[in-house]
Structure formats: structure tokens, C-alpha cells
Amino acid sequence: MNSIKDLKETDLFKGLETKQLQLLGKHFTEKNFQAGEAVFSQGGPAQNLYILLEGEVTLGIKAKGEVDITAYSVGKKGETFGLSSLIKPYRNNVSATCTKKTTVLSINGEVLKKLMKQHSKVGFEIMERVAEIYYNRLNSTRAMITNLFKMFKFQTGKSKFIETYYER
């Protein structure tokens, strides 16, 4: 069984009691990745949930035209990624790539969902945290986009991005 201390320090399981963490802990495995190694790919099936122990993982989006956009960087011990394994349609909406040697705890999404159904109080608390994590990441992305538009306006003098985008 993995250290309950590691699970207590996660953004996803904060607030759960030791007994509840013990229930989950025995289903986690530790995995190691090298710098540059993909943990999962955008569009693929979301099978596992991950908790960062050490290292750094970039969550990126491949946009049309093969442009890679960093949506979020997971670099703090206890941060969670692979949340799509808990949310329909269970497909990865980003790619996760290690930017340095990385160690994670991993649990199969199906196993975690089954435990959450069997222990509804635990499941409810976990899903509240999932919503909180997505909300915080959405706000972070909004701030990034707003700053991008401000920089674009400053550099071009255009008041609207769309006017420049569709110039001929």
C-alpha cells in the first residue's frame, strides 16, 4: 500500500479521513517516467488518474495546424492529472508529457469509479474536488488567454483579434 501521507497531500483527496484514504491507497501503483516521455495522448481513452510525487508534467493541446499549446503545467507534489478518467466520455482532452524525470501514483479510473459508487460519501467529496480543480484550471486558462489578447492588441494596435485574423 502506498503512503497515506502522500494521498493526504493531494489536491484531489484533501479532506478525506485516514480510513477513507486507506480504502483508496491499496489500489495505487507508483510509476516512473523519463523526461520527454508521454503519459497519455490527447484523444485517446482516459484510463488512469495520476498524482504527481515529483517531477513535472505539461498538459498540452494539439490545435489545428499542429500547433502545441500548453494548457497547464503540473509541477507541485500532490497535483492531480488524468481527471478525464472520471468524467464521460472518458477521453483525454489534453496530452500529458513529462518535462523532467517524473514519479506519479496511478490508479485505474474504472477501479476508482467503482470505489466511489460503493462509498458514495467518498465519491461525492472526490467529485467536488474534481470540479474545483477544473474550475481553477479554467480560470487560469482564461487569464492566460486574456493576457494573450492584451499582448496582441498592444503589438498590432487592433482592438479586436477577429479583425486582424480575417484581414486579407
Q: What ranges do the domains of the chain cover?
A: 4-165
Average pLDDT over residues 126-153: 86
How much is the pLDDT for 164? 47
Residue with cell 477501479: 111
Average pLDDT over residues 53-80: 87
Which tens digits make up the pLDDT trace of 84-118?
A: 999 999 999 999 999 999 999 999 999 999 999 99
Beta-sheet strands, E only, within 65-156: 67-74, 80-81, 95-98, 102-108
Q: Among 125, 152, 130, 116, which Cα is nearest to 24's? A: 116
Average pLDDT over residues 5-21: 93
Whether residue 129 is predicted with pLDDT greater than 70 in this model: the reply is yes
- To the nearest whole percent, how much of the chain has pLDDT over 90? 69
Distance in angstroms (rounded) separating the CA atoms of residues 35 and 59: 14
Which tens digits make up the pLDDT trace of 24-43?
A: 999 999 999 999 999 999 99
Q: Among 36, 35, 9, which Cα is nearest to 21's? A: 9
Yes or no: domain 4-165 corresponds to CATH 2.60.120.10: yes
Whether residue 161 is predicted with pLDDT greater than 70 in this model: the reply is no
Confidence grade of residue 65 (pLDDT, cut at 50, 70, 90): low
- Report pTM: 0.84
Q: Among 147, 126, 115, which Cα is nearest to 27's? A: 115
How much is the pLDDT for 70? 82
Whether residue 13 is predicted with pLDDT greater than 80 in this model: the reply is yes
Distance in angstroms (rounded) separating the CA atoms of residues 156 and 164: 8
Average pLDDT over residues 3-32: 93
Q: 120-156 and 18-25 helices cross at what angle (nearest 10)?
A: 80
